[in-house]
A and B are shown apart, each in its own frame.
Chain A
Amino acid sequence: MSPSALSRALASADTVVCVGSGGVGKTTVSAALALRAAVDARSSLVCTIDPAKRLANSLGLEALGNAETPIAPERLAAAGLKAGAPMHAMMLDMKRTWDEFIEQHAPADVREQILKNRFYQSLSSTLAGSQEYIAMEKLWQLRTHRDYELIVLDTPPTAHALDFLDAPNRVLDFLDNEAARWLLTPALAAGKIGLRLVNLGGSYAAKTIARFTGAEMLQQLADFMLAFSGLNEGFRERAHQTRSLMAAPSTAFVLVTGAAPERLDEAVYFHTLLCQHEMHVAALVVNRVHPPVASFDFEAAKQLPAPLKDKVLATLEENALLAAQDLQGIERLREQCAPTPLLEVPRFSVDVHELSGLWRIGTYLHGDVRLER
C-alpha cells in the first residue's frame, strides 16, 4: 500500500507537535510516531508533559524524569521490533524546566530572588498558559541542542486550543507590555524599586486596585517584575524563536481527535485555528474508530443456534451502530477540515499500552494498513 500523506510529511519534518483535546490518545499517537521513526532508522525523541504519566504507561516504564531516557533495544525486541536508530522518551517536569530556564538566563544577583519569589512560584506552576509556554520552550531547546532526526512533542491536555497557540504571545505580552515598561523603566534607570509605583500609589486607580488586592500585593508584584525585567530581552528573543519554530516548514502538526460527535466541534475549531496561525497541519488523526460490520457477519450469525445467535446479533448491532456514528463524524471532519489529509486508527480490543500496540497504531498512521470500508 502507498505511504500515507502523514508518512510523506514526516519524511521531511524534524519536529512533530501532536495537539488535540484531552483523552483522545495524543500520547499514544506521539509515542507511536517516535517508535516508528526509530525502527525506520531515524533517531527519535518523544517528549510529553502529561502529569498523569501516560507516556510512562504507554512505554511500560515506571517513571520518566526530566531527562531523555533511552528505550532499551530489548524492550523493542520483546515486541518483535528492531530499532535502526535509538529511541528516547522524556517527561517534562514543568517546574524544573522553569527553574533551569531562570538559572540559565537570569543575572546572578537576582537569580535567587526570582526563584524564591512567591509570584514566580505561581507563574512557574499554576499560571494558565505557562505549561504550554514551557513545553514549547523545551522543544526549542531540544531542537537546537540535540541532533535527534525526529522530535515528537505531546502537548499538555489543553483546556482551550487557543491556550496552546497563544502561549508565546501571552508570555511576551506579559513581559513586553507598554504598561509594564511605563511602570518599570524609570525605576530601572534610577536603580530603585518601584519608583513609578510610588507615584501610582497616590493615584485614584492604584487606590482602587489596592482595595481589591491589598496594597502590599502591588508592591510585591512590582518587586517581582523588577527582578524579572532583566530576563525580558531573553524571553522576547526566545518567544520569537519558539514562534518561528512552530511555523517552520520542517515542523508538522498532527491533530488527534476521536470520532464521537461530542468531540468533533473542538477538533474542527482547533483545525481552523492552526490554519489561521499558518501552522502546517500534516494530518488529522481520528483515533479509536469503530470499524464497520460486514453484512456477511450478520448472515453468518443468523445461522447460529439460540441463545448464542441473539448474543452475537446484539453485539454486531451495537458495533454497527457505533461504526455508523463514527463514519458520520469522520465524513463531517473530512468535509470541514479539507484539504488536510485524514487518517483513521481503529479501536483495538484492549487499551494500547505496549510497544507492540504502539507499533500497530504506527502502521495505520503510515498507511501500511488501512481501515477497510
Chain B
Amino acid sequence: MAALSDQRLIVVSGKGGVGKSTVAAALALCFSKRGLRTLICEVNTKERASVLLGHPEVGPEIKWLEENLWAVNVRPPEAMREYALMKLKLESIYNAVFENRLVRYFLRFVPSLAELVMLGKILFHLRERNADRPRFDRIVVDAPATGHAITFFSVPQVLLDTVPPGPLARDAEWMRDLLVDPAMTAALLVCLPEEMPVNETIELAHSFERKVGLHVAAVVLNSTVAPRFQEGELARLAAWPSLEQLAKAHAQRAAVAEELGKKLATQLARPLVSVPRLYLPFSRHALEEVARHLSPLWEGS
C-alpha cells in the first residue's frame, strides 16, 4: 500500500538543515502536477518553498503560483486578525477591541495562542469548501524543525489540558481531532543519511506518534549516496593517497547511508523513500529532480 493515500494534510518535518523545505516544495509540485489543487504553507519563517519553486516570496496572504498550486507564509499577526474577525464578524469591533493595549497584553499572555491561530488558519483552509468541493485537495505544511514541530502540533492538546471549557477549547478540540485522524493527516519526516539526524528522526517519529498523535506515513532519506567503488578498486588506488582517501570517503558515505537506511526502516517500520544527493545549484530544475524521486510515496513500492 502507498505511504500517502488520501490524506489531505501532509506535515513535513525533521531535523534542522535536512532539506524539509525542498521536500515540501517538491511534494506540493507533485500533487499539483497530478491535478490536485494544492496549498503549500510555511510557518512564520524566512520563505523558502515559493522561492525554490521559482516564484517570488508570497507573504501572509494565499497567492496563486501556477496551475493547481498556491502558497502562503502563515504569520501570527495576520492569522490572529483573521481568526478574531471570524469570531467577531465585524472589523470595527476588531479594531476597537484588539487594538486595545490591555487586550493585546492579555492575548499575548494566553499560552500558545500565536501557534493556535497559525495552526487554526492552516486547518481552516483544510476544511474550506468552494461550491461542492474542498477549496484545496492537498495542504502541504513546511513545518518547523523537531522540537518546535512537536510544540507546534501539540498546541491544541496542550490548550485542551490548560484552558477551561469555552470557545477557545472548542476550537482546540476540532483542530486536535483533524490532526490525529490518520485518514486526514500524515507526517512525512525528512532525514539525512548521517548518524545524528537519523537518531533525531527516530525520536521525532516516536514523539509525533505517542505524544502528538500524528500519523507518521513515511521517511524521506535525502541526499543519499549510492555505492560506486568496489572493494578491490580502493586497493588499486593505494599509489595515489589523495585519490584513495577520496574514494574511501565516498565508499564510507555510501556504506553509512545504506546502514542508516536499514536502521530507520527497522526501527520505524515505515516506508523509506530515498532521494539521491544532487550536484546541482538550487533551481526549479533541481526541485523537479527531487520531485521525480518522491513518486514511491503514492505509487507504493
Residues of A within 8 A of B (CB): 21-24, 50-54, 57, 118-119, 121-123, 126-128, 156-157, 159-160, 174, 177-180, 182-183, 200, 204-205, 208-209, 211-218, 220-221, 225, 258, 260-263, 265-266, 269, 294, 297, 300-301, 304, 308, 311-312, 314-319, 321-322, 325, 349-351, 353
A-B contact count (CB 8 A): 190
Contacts of B168 in A (CB 8 A): 212-214, 217
The stretch that binds A, out of B30-38, B154-162, B174-182, B262-270, is B154-162
B15-36 vs A, CB cutoff 8 Å, 1 = contact: the mask equals 1111001000000000000000
> Is B246's CB under 8 angstroms from A174's CB?
no
Instruction: Please give the distance in Å from A91's CB to the nearest CB on chain B.
Output: 13
Give the bracket for the number of chain B residues in contact with chain A. Answer: 35 or more
Residues of A within 8 A of B114 (CB): 128
- Interface check B93, CB cutoff 8 A: yes
> Which residues of B sit under 8 angstroms from A174, Cβ to Cβ?
108-109
* Chain A residues whose C-beta falls within 8 Å of the C-beta of B87 in the assembled complex: 211-212
B109 / chain A contacts, CB cutoff of 8 Å: 174, 221, 225
Contact B15 A57 (CB under 8 A): no
Task: Report the bound CA distance from A196 to B84 in whole Å.
Answer: 25
State which residues 274-294 of B face A: CB under 8 Å.
279, 281-282
Asked if B16 and A23 make an inter-chain contact with CB atoms under 8 angstroms apart, the answer reads yes
Q: Tell me the bound Cα distance from A314 to B250 in angstroms.
A: 11
Is B100 positioned at the interface, with any CB of A under 8 Å from its CB? yes
**Do A157 and B105 touch (CB < 8 A)?**
no
A122 and B87 CA atoms in complex are apart in Å by 25
Top 4 closest pairs, chain A to chain B, by CB: A22-B16, A214-B166, A23-B17, A23-B16
User: Does the CB pair A294–B242 fall under 8 Å?
Assistant: yes
Binding site for A on B (CB under 8 A): 15-18, 21, 44-46, 48, 84, 87-88, 93, 96-97, 100-103, 105-112, 114-115, 144-148, 151, 154-155, 158, 161-169, 194-197, 199-200, 203-204, 228-229, 233, 236-237, 240, 242-243, 246-250, 252-253, 256, 279, 281-282
- The reply to whether A126 and B154 contact each other, CB–CB distance below 8 Å, is yes
**B145 near A22 (CB under 8 angstroms)?**
yes
Known: A52-B203, A122-B158. A213 touches B145 (CB 8 A): no
The answer to whether B158 and A126 touch across the interface, beta carbons within 8 angstroms, is yes
The chain A residue sitting closest to B252, CB to CB, is A349
Contact with B279, one of A208, A218, A225, A322 (Cβ below 8 angstroms): A322
CB distance from B245 to the nearest CB of A (A): 8
Is the beta-carbon distance between B163 and A214 smaller than 8 angstroms?
yes
Q: A217-B164, A297-B242 are in contact. Are A22 and B15 (CB under 8 A)?
A: yes
Closest to B197 in A: A23
Docked Cα-Cα span, A317 to B228, in Å, equals: 14
Give the CA-CA distance A213 to B167 in the complex, in Å: 6
A315-B151 CB under 8 A given contacts A209-B106, A217-B163: no
In the complex, what's the smallest C-beta–C-beta distance from A314 to chain B, in angstroms?
7
Q: Is the CB of A127 within 8 A of B111?
A: yes
Known contacts A213-B163, A297-B242, A300-B242; 18 additional CB pairs below 8 A are: A22-B145, A53-B203, A57-B196, A122-B111, A128-B114, A156-B147, A157-B147, A205-B102, A208-B93, A212-B88, A213-B167, A214-B168, A261-B281, A300-B240, A311-B247, A318-B279, A325-B281, A349-B248
Do B17 and A180 touch across chains, with their CB atoms under 8 A apart?
no
Q: What are 11 A-B interface contacts by the 8 Å CB criterion?
A: A22-B146, A23-B18, A52-B204, A160-B44, A214-B167, A215-B166, A220-B163, A263-B17, A311-B229, A315-B247, A318-B279
Q: How far does the Cβ of B122 sit from chain A's closest Cβ, in whole Å?
A: 16
**DSSP majority for the A interface?**
helix
Q: Which residue of A lies closest to B165 (CB)?
A: A214
Q: Report the Cα distance A266→B114, complex, angstroms.
A: 22
Question: Which residue of B is nearest A322, CB measured?
Answer: B279
Is A217 touching B110 in the complex (CB atoms < 8 A)?
yes
Contacts of B195 in A (CB 8 A): 57, 350-351, 353
Q: Least Cβ distance of A240 to chain B in Å?
A: 21
Is the pair B247, A312 in contact by a Cβ cutoff of 8 Å? yes
Q: Are A52 and B17 in touch, CB under 8 angstroms?
A: no
In the complex, what residues of B have CB within 8 A of residue A215's CB?
Answer: 166
Which residues from chain A contact B46 at a C-beta distance below 8 Å? 265-266, 269
Q: Please determine whether A51 and B199 come into contact, CB atoms closer than 8 angstroms.
A: no
Q: Once the chains bind, are A212 and B167 in contact (CB under 8 Å)?
A: yes
Residues of chain A within 8 A (CB-CB) of B229 are 311
Partner of A312, one of B84, B103, B237: B237
Check B282 against A179 for contact (C-beta < 8 Å). no
Nearest A residue to B45 via CB reads A159
Could you tell me the distance between the alpha carbons of A48 and B286 in the complex, rounded to whole angstroms? Answer: 36
| Nearest-Cβ distance from residue A171 to partner chain B, whole angstroms | 12
User: For B154, what are the chain A residues with a Cβ–Cβ distance below 8 Å?
Assistant: 126
Nearest chain B CB to A188 CB, angstrom units: 17
User: In the bound complex, do residue B199 and residue A205 qualify as a contact, i.e. CB atoms below 8 Å apart?
Assistant: no
Max chain A CB contacts within 10 Å: which of B15, B18, B44, B163?
A: B163
Which listed residue, A177, A217, A315, A350, touches B252 by the CB 8 Å rule? A350
B147 cross-chain contacts in A, Cβ below 8 A? 50-52, 156-157
The distance in angstroms between the C-alpha atoms of A260 and B19, with both chains bound, is: 11
B296 vs chain A, min Cβ distance (A): 24
**Complex contacts, B282 vs chain A, CB 8 Å:** 261-262
B45 touches A128 (CB 8 A): no
Contact A351 B194 (CB under 8 A): yes
Most chain B beta carbons < 10 A, residue from A21, A180, A349: A349
B110 interface neighbour in A159, A221, A318, Cβ under 8 Å:
A221
Q: In the docked arrangement, what's the CA distance between A126 and B194, Å?
A: 29
Q: When A22-B15, A24-B16, A353-B195 are in contact, do A220 and B148 touch as well, CB less than 8 Å?
A: no
- Complex: A200 Cα to B112 Cα, angstroms: 23
B residues near A351, Cβ cutoff 8 Å: 194-196, 256
**In the bound complex, do residue A315 and residue B16 qualify as a contact, i.e. CB atoms below 8 Å apart?**
no
Q: Are A208 and B146 in touch, CB under 8 angstroms?
A: no
Whether the pair A214, B252 counts as a contact (CB closer than 8 A) is no
Known contacts A159-B45, A209-B106, A353-B195: does B247 contact A126 (CB below 8 Å)? no
Q: Are B200 and A52 in contact, CB atoms less than 8 angstroms apart? A: yes
Chain B residues with Cβ under 8 A from A312's Cβ? 237, 243, 246-247
